[in-house]
């Protein structure tokens, strides 16, 4: 099993909740589960997206599949307010998913980047989706990150961060492959969509918020990166300084794209 680069400390579990809130306005406009009744979420983490899905779609019954028991525990606490809804939690590896029911809809967000066999996850998703059912994916495309001016500390840290994920069996550019992976799993009517940020000093507040969010994302892998010898403490400090500098630079630009895909079985 690949090592999960963000880890499972409570600070990281909190970061996932904040992340889902920060990015919701970019992710959900393209997703439509209005016809859904039985929704499967694979890699549900601490229930950060599950909460949004339950709020947006009051008709759905939700099954959350997650590899790590402590994430499920946290998700159960985070979703305690939905006691009137049917929510099942299943501790399983999405690459070997085996459930005794099928679904009309599937949701996967920020998960395939962490698995060594993303095609297996989609094969298992296909097997659990009803004919005509819909799947939505949202995944990273980390090579799309461009920022100006050139800040070496941030550039070095980002390179090490992506190396760390690759060395641990993940793929920081898995978003690029979503169409191919869905097609290889047998899905039809595949549509791709790009979302993300292109911020500069014309929107200084959004730029500053994004720099702070990015800092927390980058730092979430720091402990493991240090243990692996990929960065030093001073590398973390410099990355943080560079992101602070980006907030105030007259010609600052922050560009990043993630990839969304939808497909039908
Ligand atoms: C970055 S988090 C995203 C969680 C959630 N989708 C969200 O957006 O808040 C990735 C989650 O996928 C889980 N995960 C990683 N590999 C998995 C696998 N093979 N099967 C199921 N879950 C997995 C991790 O334990 C982690 O909770």
CA of 51 to the centre of ligand 1 (A): 15
Ligand 1 in reach of 68 Cβ (< 6 A): yes
Task: Report the distance separating Cα 95 and Cα 111, nearest Å.
Answer: 11
pLDDT at 1 over 60: no
> Are the beta carbons of 144 and 176 closer than 8 angstroms?
no
Task: Report the distance separating Cα 251 and Cα 148, nearest Å.
Answer: 7
114 domain-assigned: yes
Entry pTM: 0.96
pLDDT at 6 over 90: no
Segment 22-31 mean pLDDT? 94
* Surface-to-core class of residue 101, CB atoms within 10 Å of its CB (0-12 exposed, 13-18 middle, 19+ buried): exposed
What atom in ligand 1 is closest to the CA of residue 19? 9
4 domain-assigned: no
3 domain-assigned: no
Segment 12-37 mean pLDDT? 91
Confidence of residue 2 (pLDDT cuts 50, 70, 90): low
Q: pLDDT, tens digit, for every residue of 121-156?
A: 999 999 999 999 999 999 999 999 999 999 999 999
Ligand 1 in reach of 118 Cβ (< 6 A): no
pLDDT value of residue 149: 97
Give the number of other Cβ atoms within 10 Å of residue 28's Cβ.
Answer: 17
CA of 44 to the centre of ligand 1 (A): 6
pLDDT value of residue 210: 95
pLDDT at 14 over 90: no
Q: How many domains does the chain contain in total?
A: 1
Q: pLDDT, tens digit, for every residue of 169-224?
A: 999 999 999 999 999 999 999 999 999 999 999 999 999 999 999 999 999 999 99
State the chain's mean pLDDT as an integer: 96
**For a substitution probing ligand 1, which of 41, 111, 113 has the most ligand atoms within 8 Å of its CB?**
111
1 domain-assigned: no
Task: Report the distance separating Cα 101 and Cα 103, nearest Å.
Answer: 7
- Residue 115: strand, helix, or coil: coil
Which residue's CA is minimally distant from atom 12 of ligand 1? 43
Distance of CA 168 to the CA centre of its chain: 16
Angstrom distances, CA of residue 203 to CA of 48, 115, 136? 27, 35, 30
Task: Report the distance separating Cα 82 and Cα 86, nearest Å.
Answer: 8
2 domain-assigned: no
Confidence of residue 12 (pLDDT cuts 50, 70, 90): confident
5 domain-assigned: no
101 domain-assigned: yes
Q: Which structural domain range is residue 141 located in?
A: 10-264
What's the CATH number where 247 sits?
3.40.50.150
127 domain-assigned: yes
pLDDT value of residue 169: 95
């Amino acid at each position: 099993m690949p090592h999960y680069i963000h880890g499972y400390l409570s600070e990281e579990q909190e970061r996932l909740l904040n992340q889902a809130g920060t990015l919701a306005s970019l992710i959900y406009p393209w997703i439509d589960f209005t016809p859904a009744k039985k929704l499967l979420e694979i890699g549900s983490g601490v229930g950060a997206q599950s909460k949004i899905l339950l709020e947006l779609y009051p008709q759905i019954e939700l099954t959350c599949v997650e590899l790590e028991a402590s994430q499920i525990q946290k998700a159960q606490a985070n979703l305690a307010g939905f006691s009137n809804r049917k929510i099942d939690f299943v501790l399983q590896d999405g690459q070997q998913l085996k459930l005794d029911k099928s679904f009309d809809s599937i949701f996967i967000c920020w998960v395939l980047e962490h698995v060594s066999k993303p095609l297996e996850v989609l094969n298992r998703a296909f097997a659990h989706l009803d004919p005509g059912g819909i799947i939505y994916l949202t995944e990273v495309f980390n090579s799309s990150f461009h920022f100006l001016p050139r800040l070496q500390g941030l550039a070095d840290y980002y390179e090490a961060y992506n190396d760390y994920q690759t060395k641990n069996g993940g793929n920081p550019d898995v978003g690029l492959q979503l169409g191919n992976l869905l097609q290889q799993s047998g899905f039809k009517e595949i549509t791709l969509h790009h979302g993300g940020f292109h911020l500069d000093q014309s929107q200084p507040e959004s730029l500053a918020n994004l720099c702070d969010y990015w800092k927390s994302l980058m730092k979430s892998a720091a402990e493991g990166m240090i243990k692996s010898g990929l960065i030093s403490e001073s590398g973390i400090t410099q990355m943080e300084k560079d992101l602070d500098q980006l907030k105030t630079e007259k010609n600052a630009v922050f560009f990043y794209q993630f990839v969304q895909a939808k497909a039908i079985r």
